[in-house]
Amino acid sequence: MVKRIILFASGSGTNVENIIKYFKRNPRVEVVNVFTNNPKAGVIGLIRPMKIPVNVFDKAQLNNGLLNHEIALLKPDLIVLAGFLLKIPLGFITAFSNKIINIHPSLLPKHGGKGMYGDRVHQSVKYAGDKETGISIHFVNEHYDKGSIIFQAKTKIGEEDNIQHIANKVQQLEYKHYPEVIENLLFP
Ligand code: GAR
């Protein structure tokens, strides 16, 4: 049976693009749809050549259950958040229990929580003087960045590393590991 994944993003969407490319060569996995809450998100233009349907929704639809209904009809095996910035409400989590995962650009529980995304996370790491950072892939529950951790990978950072260097190192870990972790969840 072909496994069906749905991707959620709010921003530039480079992880979404990377995941789509990775699974293009795997006939057992279909990226069914990409969902975004941001009509101006870079992800929309970035993946246009890939011919995967993109659905734009608003916060109200996420919170009032309309989106649950729409997504249930697509029968996803996994819902993958990649740079998705809205909080997932409990009703949505219950509807897709243990089927929603997220990637966070730090070694959780450090540098997570509300308002912690993108460069803000790397700034927090830098100002804390941490000697290492990394990625955390975790199941999503009703609290920001608090669901059980599936996978982490680390990278060292030195005093000479600025925010952009840290972001680049973390991004490389994301591209390398997120598709593989998704594949391992789909085919345990
Ligand atoms: C990624 O680094 C992801 O880990 C992060 O947003 C970036 C999205 O980049 N997510 C969070 O910070 C979630 N709290 P992309 O749009 O280029 O894939």
The per-residue pLDDT for range 151-180, each reduced to its tens digit, is 999 999 999 999 999 999 999 999 999 999
Cα–ligand 1 centroid distance for 10 (angstroms): 9
Q: What is the pLDDT of residues 97-153, one digit of tens each?
A: 999 999 999 999 999 999 999 999 999 999 999 999 999 999 999 888 999 999 999
| β-pair partners for 152 | 136
Whether the link from the prior residue into 109 is cis, omega within 30° of 0, is: yes
pTM greater than the 0.75 cutoff: yes
Pocket lining for ligand 1, CB < 6 angstroms: 9, 11-15, 82-83, 103-105, 116-118, 121, 174
Q: What is the pLDDT of residues 67-104, one digit of tens each?
A: 999 999 999 999 999 999 999 999 999 999 999 999 99
Nearest CA to ligand 1 atom 7: 83
Q: Which fold has domain 3-186?
A: Rossmann fold (3.40.50)
Domains of the chain, residue spans: 3-186
Confidence of residue 27 (pLDDT cuts 50, 70, 90): very high
Question: What positions carry a catalytic annotation?
Answer: 104
Contact 144, 113 (CB under 8 A): yes
Which atom of ligand 1 sits closest to the CA of residue 9?
16
Extended strands (E) in 47-131: 54-56, 78-81, 100-104
